[in-house]
Amino acid sequence: MGQIIEISSVSKTYKGSLEKSLDDVSFSVQKGDKIGVFGPNGAGKTTLISIICGIIPSSGGDISYYKDDSSVLLKEMLPKIGYVPQDFSFYEELSPYQNLMYFGSLYGIPKNELKDKIDALLNVLGLTKVIHKKVVKFSGGMKRRVNLAIGIINDPAILFLDEPTVGVDVQSKNAIISYLEDLNSKGTTIVYTSHHMNEAQEFCNRIVLIDQGKLIESDSLDRLLEKYNEQNLENLFLRLTGIEYRD
């Protein structure tokens, strides 16, 4: 289907640190992928996603972006990138409608079109009844869905999700994953991090595993399970990263 992003020898050393947070990481993202980026705490997952999205600079290496199979600059790709961080990224004193009107306007979406998009999106995510209520009063699962709505208001070609279901109930988790599956089936490429291995095994078709900033493996889940003779992603993860405690 063609690649959409190529990560080549990307490294990152934060100011004041003697250790690399990322060290010579390379892999590609293909159109239509559902890639899971996994690793222990402190492995560099959030740093990697933040670099790919242009939030922070790398210390070395290159990232190439492709649109309609032609190489483009990051600034040309940004309008088609969606990013849902682990930390909530909205204004709690505003309603879902007000938040989405604000963030949607940043993409230059015409007001009438934006209103229709918001109504449709909040309906799909089960937030219609609270469309004009302050987000500060919402449950954790509802806040996660608002966070997701903001990340996809621009109809992204590629969506980055950092722990999108952390701390939510089973119903909200299932609703979020079901919606992401639907987005992917319609062509959205998804790059995703999670600590929920069972959920990730069901969701992802490709795995990128990093530990201590280094790329350990990058391949389809089926091939990796066969290669290491493991039955599931959790066992594979422990085999390749060890069982020691991580801070």
Whether residue 1 is predicted with pLDDT greater than 70 in this model: the reply is no
Q: Say what the pTM is.
A: 0.89
Q: What pLDDT shows up at residue 238?
A: 86
Q: What pLDDT shows up at residue 196?
A: 77
**230 within 8 A of 236, measured Cβ to Cβ:** yes
Q: Is residue 87 part of a domain?
A: yes
- What is the domain range of residue 111? 33-57+74-241
Whether residue 242 is predicted with pLDDT greater than 80 in this model: the reply is no
Q: Is residue 22 part of a domain?
A: no
Identify the DSSP state of 19: S
Q: Is residue 221 part of a domain?
A: yes
**37 within 8 A of 53, measured Cβ to Cβ:** no
Whether residue 154 is predicted with pLDDT greater than 60 in this model: the reply is yes
Q: How many domains does the chain have?
A: 1
228-238 pLDDT per residue, tens: 999 888 888 88
Q: Is residue 164 part of a domain?
A: yes
Q: What is the mean pLDDT of the chain?
A: 89
Q: What pLDDT shows up at residue 141?
A: 85
CA distance 33 to 230: 23
- % of the chain at pLDDT higher than 90: 61
**Residue 137 sits in a domain of what CATH number?**
3.40.50.300
76-85 pLDDT per residue, tens: 999 999 999 8
41-62 pLDDT per residue, tens: 888 888 999 999 999 999 999 9
Report the pLDDT averaged over residues 113-137. 93
Q: Is residue 12 part of a domain?
A: no
**12 within 8 A of 22, measured Cβ to Cβ:** yes
Q: What pLDDT shows up at residue 241?
A: 81
Q: Is residue 137 part of a domain?
A: yes
Q: pLDDT band at residue 244, thresholds of 50, 70 and 90?
A: low
Whether residue 208 is predicted with pLDDT greater than 70 in this model: the reply is yes
